[in-house]
């Protein structure tokens, strides 16, 4: 069971566009909503309305600041869920066979009836994709909405993972990354999709599309500004007289340098 | 990593217990009857007590038996099987020694090998994890095995052998600390590779996914107490290795003083190993912390 399949018929996964993601967290909420009501144990919360709330989530959105050597910093919103790795360390470390990778589509799942909640799979995952549910005592992880994508009771448009269906920015794409002619594979090829922590040797199926380079922000943002240059630098008239008169009085004036 | 008491107690006690059982299996000391009973009681008490403690960190301990099924890929499963086999074989051997005045040499040898194999498989659970560079080193199994052999010799009353093994284990401990301190940096994993954004500039965690804590942070990002790491290392090394060696090498006249010294040596070693194991977990940094800008 915990032996990884040498190859899978499909490599279903997600392509996440870091250029388009606006960091709204809608995917986080829709994931929690769908997966707490469907496949497996609900995603519990602890102290949800108290001083120290926390809970189980299968998808979380980080935000990073990237400061290039020159120019302005860029903010990158960064959704992270299970990457359904080809060489998934979480599967082989499982002592009970509860964790497995499906031969037909490559989805990594947990059979919650067999999980003893030892947590070793979460220890072995470099991406933090697995969380132990405190109420249920079993490991929870992204199922790629296995209960949606093949579900003929749903309209065809809904047969994609909940996060993909929900994303208002179109930053999440679902498909077969094992098929070079699929839309997602073409997208990855075109946008130079990347792996997270490739040095870990996990061969993630999910790919991330890097943010496109931003236009340079010039020092002078408004091209009309030079035409609106102020006529005089210092105050004149009554205000000018008052300014000079107050300067002459003994004592410290705050503000100006005069 | 979160230094869970259950896992610290487990690795410390079972390491010592299986170490002692290995010596008993090899016939050091070749005890029988009541004396054997006491030795085996200590050995089994430590080994079984440690294993029981380890089940306390499970979310579903009632299903623990399932952990014996996946020995083909899982070091945790292999550890479970080795432990059960070692306890069964050494149990039979103990019956011979205690009740029948017999030492079944081959059975004892097998028990000793299985006992050491259990300690090795325990160490491999940690060593296999690429996500924790401080553990993902060949020195980790060497550390566990040297501790177990030294502690076992101490408990088995091997007063000629024990000081030398303690010195070896102490040297391994120092090497492990020195190499472990470099491990994360030399693993090549950083916020740059974690986010894939490193070639654009310096990456900084700007905002975490949630304002509260979560399972990942509680389990993998433990920073409390790391600031005392150096002091604790001194305690671990002094108690675990220096003091026991001094106790064993101190010239004593009476048999009472000798036994008292041995008891002090055992207790000091136990305390030292507990501190060392606490550091083993508390100082281990999981790469997932990088996504939170933490270590």
Per-residue pLDDT, A222: 72
A7 or B117: which carries more pLDDT confidence? B117
Architecture of domain A12-209: 2-Layer Sandwich (3.30)
Contact assessment for residue A245 and residue A258, using Cβ atoms and an 8 Å cutoff: no
| Smallest Cα distance from B16 to chain A, Å | 23
Per-residue pLDDT, B63: 87
Same domain, B21 and B85: yes
What average pLDDT does this structure show over B22-37?
Answer: 91
Question: What is the chain B residue with the closest CA to A138?
Answer: B59
Per-residue pLDDT, A231: 67
Per-residue pLDDT, A217: 64
Percent of chain B residues topping a pLDDT of 70: 99
Percent of chain A residues topping a pLDDT of 90: 74
Per-residue pLDDT, A244: 84
**B114-149 per-position pLDDT tens digit:** 999 999 999 999 999 999 999 999 999 999 999 999
List all residues 6 or more positions away from A148 whose beta carbon is below 8 Å from its beta carbon. Answer: A34, A154, A158, A159, A160, A161, A162, A165
Per-residue pLDDT, A220: 64
- What's the CA gap between A88 and B47, in Å, rounded? 32
Rounded to the nearest 10°, the torsion over CA A91, A96, A102, A103 is 90
List all residues 6 or more positions away from A223 whose beta carbon is below 8 Å from its beta carbon. Answer: none
Per-residue pLDDT, B127: 96
Does B61 score more than 90 pLDDT? no
Same domain, B210 and B259: yes
With contacts defined as CB-CB under 8 Å, which chain A residues touch B219?
A: 119, 122-123, 132
Per-residue pLDDT, A257: 46
Same domain, B200 and B292: yes
In a domain, B108, yes or no: yes
Is residue B83 within 8 angstroms of chain A, CB to CB? Answer: no
Query: What's the domain range around B85?
Result: 1-128
Per-residue pLDDT, B253: 79
Residue where a domain terminates, one of B128, B150, B173 = B128
Q: What would the two tokens of residue B162 be?
A: 């024990």
Residue where a domain terminates, one of B112, B128, B144 = B128
Give A46's strand partners: A54
Are the beta carbons of A76 and B80 separated by less than 8 Å? no
Does B160 score more than 50 pLDDT? yes
* Nearest partner of A120 among B13, B183, B79, judged by Cα: B79
Give the DSSP letter of residue A45: E
Is residue B63 within 8 angstroms of chain A, CB to CB? Answer: yes
- What's the CA gap between B292 and A68, in Å, rounded? 20
Question: Which of the residue ranges A54-63, A209-218, A231-240, B211-220 has the most confident prediction, judged by mean pLDDT?
Answer: A54-63
- What's the CA gap between A78 and A67, in Å, rounded? 16
Q: List Cα–Cα distances, A53 to A141, B205, B214, in angstroms.
A: 20, 21, 9
Burial label for B230, CB within 10 Å (0-12, 13-18, 19+), is: exposed
Is residue B186 within 8 angstroms of chain A, CB to CB? Answer: no
Question: Which of the residue ranges A211-225, A234-248, B68-82, B210-224 has the most confident prediction, judged by mean pLDDT?
Answer: B68-82
Is residue B60 within 8 angstroms of chain A, CB to CB? Answer: yes
Per-residue pLDDT, A232: 66
Q: Give chain A's end-to-end CA distance (angstroms, integer).
A: 81
Of the candidates A54, A64, A136, the beta carbon closest to that of B213 is on A54
Are the beta carbons of B286 and A123 separated by less than 8 Å? yes
With contacts defined as CB-CB under 8 Å, which chain B residues touch A91?
A: 73
Is residue A201 within 8 angstroms of chain B, CB to CB? Answer: yes
Are the beta carbons of A93 and B75 separated by less than 8 Å? yes
Same domain, B192 and B270: yes
Per-residue pLDDT, A258: 41
| Smallest Cα distance from A207 to chain B, Å | 11
In a domain, B279, yes or no: yes
Same domain, B165 and B122: no
* Nearest partner of A79 among A128, A12, A13, A16, judged by Cα: A16
- What's the CA gap between A186 and A195, in Å, rounded? 16
With contacts defined as CB-CB under 8 Å, which chain A residues touch B187?
A: 199
Q: What would the two tokens of residue A103 be?
A: 């031969």
- What's the CA gap between B292 and B287, in Å, rounded? 10
- What's the CA gap between A30 and A165, in Å, rounded? 9
Per-residue pLDDT, A254: 62
Q: Average per-residue pLDDT in chain B?
A: 92
**A41-98 per-position pLDDT tens digit:** 999 999 999 999 999 999 999 999 999 998 888 999 999 999 999 999 999 999 999 9
Number of domains in chain B: 2
Is residue B291 within 8 angstroms of chain A, CB to CB? Answer: yes
Q: Which 215-244 residues of chain A touch chain B by CB within 8 A?
A: none
Of A198-202, A247-251, B88-92, B183-187, the range with the lowest mean pLDDT is A247-251
In a domain, B142, yes or no: no
Q: Average per-residue pLDDT in chain A?
A: 90
Of the candidates B69, B77, B212, the beta carbon closest to that of A54 is on B212
In a domain, B199, yes or no: yes
Confidence of residue B216 (pLDDT cuts 50, 70, 90): very high
Residue where a domain terminates, one of B107, B128, B149 = B128
Q: Indicate which of A26, A95, A117, A207 best probes the interface with B, i.e. most B CBs within 10 Å of its own CB.
A: A95
**A85-142 per-position pLDDT tens digit:** 999 999 999 999 999 999 999 999 999 999 999 999 999 999 999 999 999 999 999 9
ipTM of the complex: 0.91
Are the beta carbons of A92 and B73 separated by less than 8 Å? yes
In a domain, B145, yes or no: no
Is residue A68 within 8 angstroms of chain B, CB to CB? Answer: yes
Q: Indicate which of A46, A117, A139, A197 best probes the interface with B, i.e. most B CBs within 10 Å of its own CB.
A: A197
- What's the CA gap between A112 and A110, in Å, rounded? 6
Of the candidates B76, B197, B206, the beta carbon closest to that of A95 is on B76
Question: What is the chain B residue with the closest CA to A136?
Answer: B59
Contact assessment for residue B76 and residue A97, using Cβ atoms and an 8 Å cutoff: no
Residue in this structure with the two tokens 């059960």, named with its chain if needed: B84
Same domain, B124 and B210: no
- What's the CA gap between A107 and A88, in Å, rounded? 10
Per-residue pLDDT, B256: 85
**A165-180 per-position pLDDT tens digit:** 999 999 999 999 999 9
Residue in this structure with the two tokens 């870990």, named with its chain if needed: A200
Contact assessment for residue A144 and residue A181, using Cβ atoms and an 8 Å cutoff: no
Same domain, B175 and B283: yes
Give the DSSP letter of residue A87: T
Is residue A46 within 8 angstroms of chain B, CB to CB? Answer: no
Per-residue pLDDT, A218: 65
Same domain, B209 and B97: no
Per-residue pLDDT, A221: 66
């Amino acid at each position: 069971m915990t032996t990884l399949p040498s190859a899978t018929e499909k490599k279903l996964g997600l392509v996440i566009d870091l250029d388009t993601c606006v960091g709204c967290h809608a995917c986080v909420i829709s994931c929690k909503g769908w997966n707490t009501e469907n496949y497996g144990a609900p995603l519990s919360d602890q102290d949800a309305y108290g001083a120290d709330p926390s809970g189980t989530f299968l998808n979380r959105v980080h935000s990073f600041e990237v400061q290039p050597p020159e120019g302005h910093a860029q903010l990158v919103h960064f959704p992270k869920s299970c990457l359904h790795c080809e060489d998934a360390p979480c599967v082989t470390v499982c002592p009970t066979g509860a964790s497995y990778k499906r031969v037909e589509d490559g989805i990594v799942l947990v059979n919650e009836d067999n999980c003893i909640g030892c947590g070793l799979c979460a220890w072995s995952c470099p991406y933090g994709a697995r969380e132990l549910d405190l109420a249920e005592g079993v490991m929870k992880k992204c199922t790629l909405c296995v209960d949606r994508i093949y579900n003929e009771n749903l309209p065809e448009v809904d047969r994609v993972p909940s996060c993909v269906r929900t994303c208002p920015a179109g930053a999440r794409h679902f498909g077969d990354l094992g098929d070079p002619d699929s839309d997602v594979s073409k997208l990855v090829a075109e946008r130079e999709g990347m792996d997270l922590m490739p040095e870990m040797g996990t061969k993630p199926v999910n790919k991330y599309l890097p943010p496109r380079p931003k236009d340079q922000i010039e020092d002078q943002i408004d091209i009309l500004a030079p035409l609106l240059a102020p006529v005089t630098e210092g105050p004149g008239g009554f205000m000018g007289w008052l300014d000079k008169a107050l300067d002459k009085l003994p004592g410290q004036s705050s503000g100006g340098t005069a | 990593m979160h230094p869970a008491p259950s896992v610290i107690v487990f690795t410390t006690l079972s390491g010592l217990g299986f170490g002692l059982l290995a010596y008993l299996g090899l016939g050091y000391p070749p005890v029988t009857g009541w004396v054997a009973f006491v030795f085996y009681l200590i050995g089994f008490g430590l080994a079984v007590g440690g294993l029981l403690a380890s089940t306390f960190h499970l979310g579903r301990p009632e299903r623990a038996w399932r952990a014996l099924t996946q020995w083909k890929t899982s070091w945790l499963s292999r550890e479970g099987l080795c432990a059960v086999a070692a306890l069964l074989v050494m149990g039979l051997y103990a019956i011979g020694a205690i009740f029948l005045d017999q030492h079944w040499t081959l059975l004892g040898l097998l028990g000793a090998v299985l006992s050491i194999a259990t300690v090795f498989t325990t160490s491999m659970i940690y060593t296999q994890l690429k996500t924790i560079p401080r553990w993902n080193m060949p020195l980790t199994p060497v550390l566990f095995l040297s501790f177990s052999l030294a502690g076992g010799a101490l408990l088995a009353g091997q007063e000629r052998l024990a000081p030398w093994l303690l010195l070896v284990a102490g040297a391994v401990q120092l090497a492990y600390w020195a190499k472990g301190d470099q491990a994360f940096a030399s693993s090549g994993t950083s916020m740059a590779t974690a986010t894939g954004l490193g070639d654009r500039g310096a990456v900084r965690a700007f905002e975490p996914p949630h304002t509260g804590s979560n399972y990942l942070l509680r389990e993998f990002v433990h920073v409390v107490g790391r600031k005392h790491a150096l002091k604790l290392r001194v305690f671990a090394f002094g108690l675990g290795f220096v003091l026991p060696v001094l106790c064993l090498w101190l010239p004593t006249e009476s048999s009472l003083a000798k036994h008292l010294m041995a008891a002090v040596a055992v207790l000091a070693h136990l305390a030292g190993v507990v501190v060392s194991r606490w550091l083993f977990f508390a100082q281990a940094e999981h790469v997932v912390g990088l996504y939170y800008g933490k270590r």
